[in-house]
Amino acid sequence: MKPIEEIKPLLENPKKVVITMHQKPDADAMGSSLAMYHYLIQKGHEVTVISPTNFPDFLKWMPAAELVIDFESSNDKAMAALEGIQLLFCLDFNALYRTKNMAPFLEKLDCTKILIDHHLEPQPSFDFGVSDTSASSTAQLVYETIYKLGEEKYINLDIAACIYAGTVTDTGSFRFSSTSARVHRMVADLMDRGLKHEIIHQNIYDNFLENRLRFLGHSLLNRMEVFYEYNTAMLAIPYSDLKRFDLMTGDTEGLVNFLLSIQGIKLAALIIDRNVEVKLSFRSKGDFDVNTFARKYFDGGGHFNASGGRSVDSLDKTVERFIRAIRENEEQLQ
């Protein structure tokens, strides 16, 4: 993979471009993709952003979110947008299977593929890119890419808002260890450019329906287990809860972080029965490596302190497997 700044000559004349991200995109996937979109359209390219699936309502405020095509629900439009593209940008993921039903189509595309990502262990199928696991967010890498291309004059308020949104969510509002001085310098620059940060926080964090808060209360009261001997807390959510509280995409986002607020807890797990499969989210504090943990036991991956995986077993079976897995890791969890 050649360094990202070497794409500069490719951007000099108009191209047909698609930007895509991981399925069920979060604010970083959407924010980095839309920031890249707002940069590339100013350069005169024909750009389409495709999400492999739908995305949470609380991201609909993002500038140009209404133009994002859902590969599942608008498949014809997505396929037309992919037809004959010259450049494919893959943002905030590094393994094609994370684009779900899009993966077989992306694999077959005959075009230049560009990666911008901060997850561990990238697949080696990209022509150009940046894979920086020390970056707080993919949004930050998009910001730095624009600088590396010497194009910072294009960083307008739309780009600033998208980059800030991805960074604020992926850093847990600037609290995780990935929040480097580099992050704060970038935010200072975005604020100098006129960014209104408080509106973005309200759009992301104060934008839920009542049922989501009631679901949160119900889950913490009835679905949480704490294994003090392994410094681990777990929430196991049956599919019936998702139905009962009428949850939407994105409503379970951030839930896992509540578990880490218990004194002494090093590993937090959120295990949700999504009916077709069980999804797992892991978060850790300090030196417990949840990327390796997710890879080893649950066919997943991610970052050192935040990762995810999946299971085709029932919820109960998955929980049993999780408990066996933490027993096997007892020493590392001390």
**Contacting residues toward ligand 5GP, per CB under 6 A:** 22, 95, 119, 281, 300-303, 306-310
* CB 334 to ligand 5GP: min, Å: 24
CB environment 135-165: b (16+ within 10 A), e (fewer): bbbbbbbbbbbbebbeeeeebeebbbbbbbb
Residue 92 engages Mn ion in binding (rule: CB under 5 A): yes
Which residues, 6 or more positions from 184, have their beta carbon under 8 angstroms from its beta carbon?
174
| Beta strand 46-51 pairing with 16-21 | parallel
* CB 28 to ligand 5GP: min, Å: 8
Residue 15 or 303: the one with the smaller Cβ distance to ligand 5GP is 303
3-class state of residue 70 by DSSP = strand
Residue 117 engages Mn ion in binding (rule: CB under 5 A): no
Tokens 């590339």 belong to residue: 40
Residue 48 or 137: the one with the smaller Cβ distance to ligand 5GP is 137
* CB 179 to ligand 5GP: min, Å: 15
* Residue 209 DSSP one-character state: -
* CB 303 to Mn ion: min, Å: 8
Residue 4 or 306: the one with the smaller Cβ distance to ligand 5GP is 306
Query: Distance from CA of residue 253 to its chain's centroid?
Result: 11
For Mn ion, the binding residue among 19, 21, 28, 253 (CB under 5 A) is 28
Task: Give the count of residues interacting with Mn ion (CB under 5 A).
Answer: 4
Residues forming a β-bridge with 269: 234, 282
Q: Contact positions toward Mn ion, by CB under 5 A? A: 28, 92, 138, 170
